Structure 1
Amino acid sequence: MTRLRDAVRLPPRALLSTLWPVRALAYVLTGAVSGAVTLVWIVLTSVGAPALAAPFISVERHRLALLGCAPPAAPRVRHRYTDPVAWRAFAYLVLHATALLLLDAAAVAVAFWPVLLIGGGTFTRAAGGGDAVDVWAGVVVGVLVLLAVVVVAVLAVYVVMLAALAHAELARLLLAPPDDAVARSRSRLVDAFESERRRIERDLHDGAQQRLLELGLTLVAAELELDDDPAAAKPLLRKASGQAKAALAELRELVRGIHPRVLTDLGLAAAVAELADRASVPTTVDVVLPARPPSTVESAAYFVVAEALANVRHAAAERVTVTARRLGPALVVRVRDDGTGGADPAKGTGLTGLADRVAAHGGTLRLSSPAGGPTVLTVTLPW
């Protein structure tokens, strides 16, 4: 647990066992004090405010550490009266001395209201009667008051934490220098390059590698036929030649970082139909979509089907069915075979890589493969 935004999601019992309520209260308390001081300072030095704001802004940056936030780096300000960074920080100080001061003061009042309620002596006055009936009535009223105080105190904790979180988010938004945005942009760019590298690796494994494996199997079969029946080897050699050309074409496309050509030109239905034509097991394709999904989703779905059809040879299947539908905001692709079942991602069937590919797009992969079959692979991708 490193930040207040994570702590707010905890259930009450877990939250109250941490120091986050105290840290949030310390943040709004110090915020109320510094907001009042800032208000006085703005009134007295309104003309030189942007030039004299640096100490106050520095305090506000470092107060964020109370909530587990790294203090934003100090920006490089070229001129206090012309730099938009300085005016943005000054705008935060104005808010801090007005609206945020009221927010912090209200949060402090909410935090201490249960204490004032207890200090009001409600229980003592209710239990202070002379006869037994009054005493028991006072006890009941006192217990109810204490329960009410506990409930109010828990609610007050969340109110204080939410007020602190709102104040802190506004501070981070206005006090973070442009360099932070540049750093975040660079980080996203690095992540995108890394994601693209992994995508190419998966495409090589799930696409071109499977074609080369089919080519190798065809050549082995042709070699076995050459000695006994050279005529029977000729169709196998022609098939191998076609597979080699297809593998080279797909490698060329992958190097360029694009989809398989048929997928790019004709869409998922045509691309899956081509996979079915090359499959080693008779495959029925039922892909009905109202429109083409995003290209990244099409690519993920295509390679899911390619890997699933390549894995069918391990299952002794006689028939495979591939279906794809749009269900609400998702593309659902299902590959079913009538093989022996027992598929396990831990056995190196390529399913782990498929799961990674699907997860990278925010989708889910489900596998049902009981012993004896059938095996059903269902992939859901956000449209």
Structure 2
Amino acid sequence: MSSPSVRADRTTVLTDAWRAVRRSAVAFKWLVTGLLIGLLAICVLAIVVLTGLLCIVGVGLLLIPAMLGLVRRVAELERRRLRVSGHPVQMPYDALPRGVREAWRTAVHDSTSRRDLKWLASYAVVGTFVGGVALQVVANAVQALTFPAWWRLVPSGDATLVNGLVSVSTWKGAWAAMAMGAVWLILAVALNPMLLRMQSAPGLRWLPPDPTLDWSTRVAELTATRAAALDAHALELRRIERALHDGAQNRLVTVAVLAGAAQRSMEHDPVRAAEILERVQSSAESALAELRSVVRSILPPVLENGGLDGALSALAAQSPVPARLSVTTGRLPASVETTAYFAVAEALTNVAKHSGATRASVVVTTQGEMLQVLVEDDGHGGAQVREGSGLAGIARRAEAHDGTLTVSSPAGGPTVVEVKLPCAS
């Protein structure tokens, strides 16, 4: 029998191998997606070249606005792929030009458009080639591994490997091809993450904003976000102050008054004093309950102890409307978890109070460095973000973290509340 240390080493090796396979499978998925974007980039690059040639005779000037729109759409597809695969890339676009003169000025002088065009030219070559290599390696592995199962079913001379470069006509060669398939598979597992980095390089180089870009717009956004954070903090302090003043403080005043009355009645009317002391105990317990409620509203202990998954499970279990929960994320920064928790709590409260729904669902996932929270119900819809509403409170909390709130609630439903929060540590 093998020793515990040997078994532990085997378990570690198997775990590492499985992680490598999963990492390679995910990389292959994004490589194939990048290959499709690369093929689209080739088509758009041909349109760009054609537009440039037509500009010589003047006709292409009329096509520049449409051409820039196509380039932006393809570039945004690549930015979305990079964001979802773990590389958050943003680009602040100005509105597309309308007139011929403005379109020409944008194409020639706008740094954002120039960077998009540089990405398009480089990615049409690099992205397509790298994606094709990854697809070829995996296709070779699948073809070789399954070779013994099908090589006798095809006409003589068609049983080939590696795009017809290697021909096999015997069982010995078929089994050798299967062994070669294992080598191809190992090669795919090892190469896919590296190929994905190569394919993503043009996008990471050209699709972020120009380092020399005027950041006044971003500064204005951060200023507004900071103001929203301060407003949210002030509102939270006022809520806590009202909860303490109207709840626990009043009950503690009652305890002090009743305790004084009990003390005065102790000698003259012991029975009356005992009744008052019972009321003192009841008021003290109510004050403690109020204090516990306020403390939990600041940072619920279940959130700190059980993480976001455990805290949301408790919320879903307590929801008057049956709620299905799916959480596929690990531990996050405490401020992000707290914001997500209160967003779900407020959304489920709105579902119970206003939607008329019979069921709800809560889905929490991470996409790159963004936490996405989706709360959906089958109610009658019509939810809006109005000042003073619970949804407005969610929006303030999200904006304080540089996040966003999106509400889709057409008449008749369903209502979908989406909160996105940056969650990088």
**TM-score normalized with structure 2 length:** 0.34
Highest relative contact order (Cα 8 Å, sep 6+), 1 or 2?
2
**TM-score normalized with structure 1 length:** 0.38
Larger Rg: 1
